[in-house]
Amino acid sequence: MDFAWCGNAPVKLLEYNADTPTSLYESAYFQWLWLEDARRSGIIPRDADQYNAIQERLISRFSELYSREPFYFCCCQDTDEDRSTVLYLQDCAQQAGQESRFIYIEDLGLGVGGVLTDLDDNVIQRAF
């Protein structure tokens, strides 16, 4: 949920994203951008830290899940918010040293034995 408050009036709800995965991206990435901006502008002390360690923990977890097999990241076409979240997760996996690939869900194939495949008929063993 996104709120606005001017200090002397009721809080106003700006957005409610209960049906999208953007809260991960917003909590991990945009809160960090806000923190840097707030430090620069003097709103908060220069040594203030973020309230969460989402990005660090995601990278750590992708390190633990490391495999030689690529990790595929998927979302539907024409879903910009989902695409941004998936790109963010893919970046975290890459920072952990994991080979990753992106494929739209609409481009997934079905191979022999019911396995998922990419556009080059490579079997997809791990995906988000």
Please provide the DSSP assignment of 37-48 as one string. HHHHHTSS-TT-
Name the more confident of 96 and 5: 96
pTM above 0.85, yes or no: no
Span 36-57, average pLDDT: 90
Helices 54-64 and 80-95 cross at an angle (nearest 10°) of 60
Inter-residue contact 20 to 82 (CB < 8 Å): yes
- 100 bridge partner residues: 71
pLDDT tens digits, 47-99: 998 878 899 999 999 999 999 999 999 999 998 888 999 999 999 999 999 99
Helices (H), 1-128: 22-25, 31-41, 54-64, 80-95
Average model confidence (pLDDT) across the chain: 89
The string of pLDDT tens digits covering residues 99-111 is: 999 999 999 999 9
